[in-house]
Structure 1
Amino acid sequence: MQTAVIGDEHSDVPIILPTEAIELDVFRRAHQQDTFWCGLLLGGCGGQLATKLYVDRQCHFQHNPLPNGAPNTCRRPSVGESSADHLYVKSAMSRSLLEYGRAARFAFPPPIGSLVDVDLEDGLSLRIHMDAAVRPDWERQGAVILGPGVVPDPDVLAGCPYVYRVRCDSDGANRRVWIGTQSLARPTEWVPFSECTWTDEGLLTPAASRIMRDRSEAGSRPAAAGPSAGRGALPESVVTFVRGLEAAQRTGTVDHVRRLCNGSSSFLDGLSSTARAEAERALTEAKAWLATHEEYQRRIFKDLEAAVRERRAWDVRSGIQQAASLTRRGASAEEHRILAAARAYLREHDYADQSPAQAAVRRQLHYKPAPAASRSKSKKPNRAKESAARARALLERLDRESDLLADDELAQLVEELTRAANIAGPNLRGPERKRVASWGRKARQRRPARTAATQPRARTKPPAAGKPESPARVKLDPLAAAVKTILQKAAATGTTLTWAQIRAQLPPGLPALERSQQTSVLIQVDRSRAGTAPLLSALVTGADHDMHPAYPRIAAAAGRPQPRGNLEAVAQWAVEVSRFQRA
């Protein structure tokens, strides 16, 4: 091992042993009066260490033999130079605080080496995450400092001006501590801890001071200085594009930022130099934000894959929901594979502790006995497997596209799904069969409602003179009122909804909401609101949580500027959604 502490097993004074023999001689002379220990704050056993000199390999510390002569069996988790970095950070922070006449109390919660808690005398507190073993709690009172390899949550990074980082580099026989300032719009700027200052609000780096000063100056400038206010100087399309990028970052919609960035080349080509410079500035900030999000997503899936590989059920269970939510914003085939492996592992783990009797009951509930023909030596088992695969594909399509399908298309797909499920037999699991049955019920519920809606009804009372009654209006009014109420609730929480989710919340007794009526209903909803109010229709998305294809038409009917092309439509829509996030 290369690291130890000086004094006794409880010491927090770290020391690194040189690896070269000539350097070790100098080290021994400098520390003639010191003793070295496998410190408890290093995760060690507390035993005393000796220096071991080699000329043909690296010099290192080694444990002294036990009193009975037996070899020491210490299993310290880490023995390299970085294993004492938490102690070097504590030492550097103590010196820095001392220069400003301040004192603090330090603690090292488990797992040892991962966390450093700092409580200052004036009530301020910090938590330093040296690694990713413990997830940062951003709601916790006090500042958070992140070590190497700890990726900040993108939503947190988007919502604050900067995040502090910490790292240690070798400097001879010592470790030098650096503090970094990371923000969305700038690369991380690193300075030695000795260049940081302390204020009433806590630690302050030169970069953080500049960021706060720039924000203060930006807030005091006249509105015309900003791109969104410079309508006279910039084309409306550039203002919409820049606002869309900023809005998509505020709401954390990664796919929208990515689409705006990827589709920007042709958009930039037709701009003047001034307008292009403003658009490129916004693109640079958006790409930095996007890189942070993508790194965060890679980290989440990497950790989930490691948890599955190492069969850590608790970590898999805690990470799978976060990974699944990220796939709804877009994920690679490899990430989908990791997620599927995690789900399969949890299914296996959940049944691992079952008694034989419980397993028998589960099999009886989840599986139907295979027909005798399928147990014969024919090709029917292969057909059953193919049908099971087809049924699963249909289930995924229905989950993804049901709100975009007309009733007759939905009925046709459900009928095909039912046939495939019947042929699949025991190749479909119990939960899958429940989903098949659920889609069958949904298709049957739509069919009679649609038939009733299309049948003519006798009039019992003629319309008032001069005001002919519109059957379509009578039919849409209650639907529009119900949809408006549902969307207002979603607006209060800043969430979006698919048409399938809206249908599920409609009160009973209303006419069936046909696919062909969706756009008309949303136009009626937004026309009933004040002209400057955000469009509730912006909260209705496709199955992939992206902009609904009908949104530009609805926005135009509500009096919004007609977007020129899909890129401007996405930017305009992102701005509209962000208005609910700020409300």
Structure 2
Amino acid sequence: MQTAVIGDEHSDVPVVLPIEAIALDAFRRRHRGDSFWCGLLLGGCGARLADKLYIDRQCHFQHYPAGQHGGEAVCRRRGVGESSADHLYVKGALASSLASHGRAARFSYPDPIGSVLDVALAGGRQFRVHLNGAVQPSWHDGIPILGEGVALEPGTLSRCQYVYRVRLQSEGTQRRVWIGTESLARPTQWVPLAECGWTADGLVTEAAQRIRSQPDAAAPPRARPLPEAVTRLIRGLESAQRSGTVEHVRRLCESSDAFLHKILEPHTRAQAQQALAEARTWLDAHMGYQQGVFADLQQALDDKRAWDVREHYNRATALTRRGASDAERQVLHNARVFLQEKNHQPAPDTEARRREALRRVGRQPRSGAALRRPVTRLERARSQEQAAMARVQRLVSDLEQTHMSSRRREAKLRELQEAVSDADGALTGTLLRRIRRLREEARAADKPAPSPPARPAAAALPEETLVSAAAAVRGALKRAARAQQTLTWAALEEQLGSALPAMTELERQRLVALVDAASKREEPLLSSILAAGDPAMAEAYRLSANLLGGDLPADDREVLRDVIDADVRQTHTFWRHR
């Protein structure tokens, strides 16, 4: 977990732990003498926390072992990221802003903790801050302040002159609070909370004052609701902009011109024109980006670059999920035909292309159809040493997770001793210091720390979880290969569900290596199916191939494209009738 409170379990003074080791040293000097707690206002258990220093991964807070500093409670805290204390940072910023204007307020934290903050001003005014959409905003008990991601009900900006938004931005170990003024005809204007003012009615920004001062900005009287047809138009425009689809917004704007000529009442016409002006402003900003994406896709098609076609096709499809122009549909159709031909028609020179690509980087193919260069004794020793080194690093990382049963820790330490012997002189000074510290802690510990009820956000997934997930992924990749298809990581997550837990980039790379390590000698790499469909997984493929004897460079994308393209063709051919 990255957040805690300072002082005691009831404190509302938040703190964010830096994730980098060098920043943690400065943090410790700055907070010398402070104590950190899993605060009740964070939804925590009230136990005391310690900061955990890591060199090779993210630093974080952790609970003390049972029996130390009262750490006996079971913690069911859900929010552990840097945003999990945002309600406390907003409270602190509001209190400081009010104090600078000679005012005070009372604050309360209704359930669910972290979602809302209630503010009662000294003059009797009240308002609520919604950090997320867990609680439906109410407009009857004061005007709320909404988080940046909280969706408005359709028509809200047609009835109100403006709406206040709140967001937080990390600055070092602090979270700075910004207030935005959102209106129908203008983009949201953000200013630091410290620059906002206070009146008898509550918070006020310069943007809100300008909107109030405009004679034509008054909200329509409640006694004169807009006609249903106009309300549907405004709601449709707002919904289309939230969906982010250019063609949908374009069609609505074009079809609305004739409708506007039928509106005779001036106030109603002004509301519809204002909504259309906002939609056209949005359209101008987004149309240029979408045109650039389709231009890149067309260029990739013209150049017959399969890798880039896949990458741009995925982006173009996402942008047009609610509609596309005739020209865009034609480009998407051409891209689909091109990719289908690539996937379903393996070229007769597949093996030759792959051998040539691999020859350029000095790697011999795994296929039994290709000749293999004999492995020298020195290369074999180097490979075994590197494998032992990787095993040592994995074991050290596992043992640095202090919450581990005594039996498992003893077994891990014995395994580490064997791995250190195998690695011989390949261990770095940093790794040796970490091993020495683990041995000293093992000798000094009276009793080991028990396993915690919940895994910290920064802790690595257990090896058995990765092995199980790799088996599930391998099965999915085989099915895709038999169907002559490719897969993206997102599609794998949707297909496998809980069998594929959330992973860091390093964990994904480790999983891909496990998938390929299970292949027989004559089998091509199944991870090519994933790398071909999802360019973000190309690095995981490269690392996996190198672990199996390849020598793919990190700085030559063209070579990597050639190898993946040839490998996925061979994979399709190999699994087609199996």
Normalising by structure 1, report the TM-score.
0.41
Normalising by structure 2, report the TM-score.
0.41
Greater C-alpha Rg: 1
